[in-house]
Amino acid sequence: AFLYFYYFWKERLTATGRVLAVFLFFSLFFVWVPGAFAVKAFLLTASAFLLVSIFTLFPLKKIAVRHVQIPPVKEGDAAKISAKIQAEKNFAAVKLGCFRMHPALKFQDEEKYESLRPSEEKEFFAFVRTSRRGAFEIPSVAAVVPNALGITSILKPASGNFELVVQPRAIPVGQIH
């Protein structure tokens, strides 16, 4: 249950959603304070927004993630993951994200959303910072679409297994005896 909550926290909640969830947790202590009607009204409104956003996390069927390419990179560099996303309807904000990766890989989330029109196939990029060499599995490469309130994100993962190969960087040799 904790692992599911961790993945939900990292993947599905935006920065606004995380702040709202933390505020709701700490504001539960104000429910027992006599009076404090403004805090209770805000608590009720914020919890309604959060619950509505969570219950609208339906899987997207009108968007497809295809042609995921992950070229090999050198140790310490950022990998540029590309994928083509096609939509059947208009989306105001879409970006590419990578989730559930090895701890040596860090997804660089720069919050650059782009619009996508119907029947348009556009290439999106995601950057993953590497810290050591090896072959790493990337279990989830997905299109990220924020909901209308901006509290949660809806994910449409690409099908397939993806692997990032991180090659060792060149070490300059000054002199060999």
- Confirm if 87 and 136 have CB atoms less than 8 A apart: no
Q: How far apart are CA 114 and CA 53, in angstroms?
A: 21
Q: How far apart are CA 28 and CA 165, in angstroms?
A: 46
pLDDT digits (tens, 9 = 90+) for 31-74: 777 777 777 787 888 888 888 888 877 767 788 899 999 999 99
pLDDT digits (tens, 9 = 90+) for 99-151: 888 888 988 877 688 888 988 899 999 999 998 899 999 998 999 988 878 88
- Confirm if 167 and 75 have CB atoms less than 8 A apart: yes
